[in-house]
């Protein structure tokens, strides 16, 4: 009887682990910047990523009449990290501009290093930007 | 009791194995920016390149200087493919043109569709279906003041089971009147794939 229970427990554990495969946490760190007021909001939704990548600095300017944002990310780990990031742009009504054209880009961050990622709005209507950083394992 | 548990476990294992023997392939939609699956050039590489080039061109100080307050007429030449693999360079060019067009900084002409333009004009002039006053006559089209061109090149190295693949997109924007290169940029992509020890 004891043995049967152990066997059933092993089967249940295997089934549980199989069900968990594919459950990748796709949440990440979000940095929202309002280019009109200069306010920046950092939201860290992924505990694992929060312990690996920190948002150091957010700068913004304008070039050729288009908004531009520079966000400095720092690795808190000693090992090399690979993350994906995407910078989206929104108009005054909060509508996303060129959503399909904005891709997730790959970024390698060496141990304890910082990198600055830059995004340029391709439309003069953009007033705010949103950087989303996610773990590369979330890219399927 | 023990035997029946083992029998049940056996049936369950067999059922799990059989479930993979379907004749139809498993199809699902995936994200456009998915992780790489080969060392070849993939859609996400093209998308990232187009985005990077568009942002670089629109924010370059030299472009602003050349454009001034006007919206110059631009043509986009299909990029040259200098790699050993087939890449639809016209599609890359089309994506780039669409993104630049949406920025509102340039106006565009398309040399590749000039033949169709002539067919329409000939039809309007000759078939007698179109009001002659409204028929579009030749010699009125805008002239390209600048053109965008570029190339894709690759370097491939293989050591044992490891393939190291390097791609470089390089693009230039040239002013037709002055002959000067107004903007130029590159996008590099490097991928590595390791073949499995067993397999064919």
**Given this model, what pLDDT does residue A73 score?**
96
Q: Residue A48 falls within a domain, yes or no?
A: yes
Which CA distances in Å does B72 have to A100, B93, B154?
A: 26, 18, 33
Q: Residue A19 falls within a domain, yes or no?
A: no
Q: Residue A134 falls within a domain, yes or no?
A: yes
Residue of B nearest to A104 (CA): B33
Question: What DSSP letter does each residue of B95-157 carry, written as one string?
Answer: HHHHHHHHHTS-EE--GGGHHHHHHHHHHHHHSS-S-TTTSPPSS-PPPPSEEEEEEEEEEEE
Average pLDDT, chain B: 88
For residue B102, give the nearest of A11, A98, A103 by CB distance: A98
**Which CATH number covers residue A44?**
2.60.40.3230
Proportion of chain B above pLDDT 70, given as a percent:
92
Residue A37 structural domain = 24-139
pLDDT category, A137, cuts 50, 70, 90? confident
Q: Residue B22 falls within a domain, yes or no?
A: no
**Given this model, what pLDDT does residue A22 score?**
55
**Given this model, what pLDDT does residue B135 score?**
92
Q: What is the tally of structural domains in chain A?
A: 1
Q: Residue B126 falls within a domain, yes or no?
A: no
Q: Residue A56 falls within a domain, yes or no?
A: yes
Query: Cβ separation of B55 and A119 shorter than 8 Å?
Result: yes
Q: Residue A17 falls within a domain, yes or no?
A: no
Q: Residue A88 falls within a domain, yes or no?
A: yes
Q: What is the tally of structural domains in chain B?
A: 1
Q: Residue A9 falls within a domain, yes or no?
A: no
The nearest CA of chain B is from the CA of A104 a distance in Å of 6
**Given this model, what pLDDT does residue A14 score?**
67
Q: Residue A3 falls within a domain, yes or no?
A: no
Kindly provide the ipTM of the predicted complex, given to two decimals: 0.80
| Cα–Cα distance measured from residue B123 to residue B139, given in angstroms and rounded to the nearest whole number | 16
Proportion of chain B above pLDDT 90, given as a percent:
60
Contacts with A70 (C-beta within 8 Å, 6 or more apart), sequence order: A57, A58, A59, A60, A61, A116, A117, A118
Chain A partners within 8 Å of B44 (Cβ): 103-104
């Amino acid at each position: 009887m004891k043995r049967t229970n152990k066997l059933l427990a092993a089967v249940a554990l295997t089934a549980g682990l199989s069900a968990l495969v594919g459950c990748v946490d796709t949440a990440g760190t979000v940095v929202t910047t309002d280019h009109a007021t200069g306010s920046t909001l950092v939201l860290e939704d992924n505990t694992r990523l929060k312990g690996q990548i920190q948002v150091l600095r957010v700068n913004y300017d304008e070039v050729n009449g288009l908004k531009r944002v520079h966000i400095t990310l720092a690795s808190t780990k000693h090992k090399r990290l690979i993350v994906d990031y995407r910078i989206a742009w929104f108009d005054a009504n909060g509508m996303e501009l060129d959503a399909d054209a904005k891709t997730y880009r790959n970024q390698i961050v060496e141990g304890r290093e910082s990198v600055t990622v830059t995004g340029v709005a391709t439309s003069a209507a953009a007033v705010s930007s949103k950087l989303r950083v996610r773990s590369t394992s979330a890219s399927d | 009791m023990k035997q029946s548990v083992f029998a049940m476990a056996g049936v369950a294992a067999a059922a799990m194995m059989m479930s993979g023997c379907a004749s139809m392939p498993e199809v699902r939609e995936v994200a456009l920016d998915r992780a790489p699956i080969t060392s070849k050039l993939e859609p996400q590489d093209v998308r990232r390149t187009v985005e990077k080039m568009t942002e670089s061109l629109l924010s370059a100080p030299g472009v602003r200087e050349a454009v001034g307050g006007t919206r110059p007429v631009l043509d986009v030449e299909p990029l040259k493919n200098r790699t050993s693999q087939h890449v639809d360079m016209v599609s890359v060019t089309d994506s780039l043109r669409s993104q630049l067009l949406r920025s509102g900084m340039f106006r565009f002409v398309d040399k590749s569709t000039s033949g169709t333009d002539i067919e329409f004009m000939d039809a309007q002039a000759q078939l007698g279906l179109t009001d002659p006053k409204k028929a579009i006559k030749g010699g009125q089209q805008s002239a390209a003041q600048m053109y965008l061109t570029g190339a894709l090149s690759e370097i491939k190295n293989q050591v044992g089971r490891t393939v190291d693949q390097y791609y470089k997109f390089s693009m230039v924007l040239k002013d037709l009147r002055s002959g000067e290169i107004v903007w130029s940029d590159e996008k590099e992509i490097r991928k590595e794939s390791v073949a499995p020890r067993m397999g064919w």
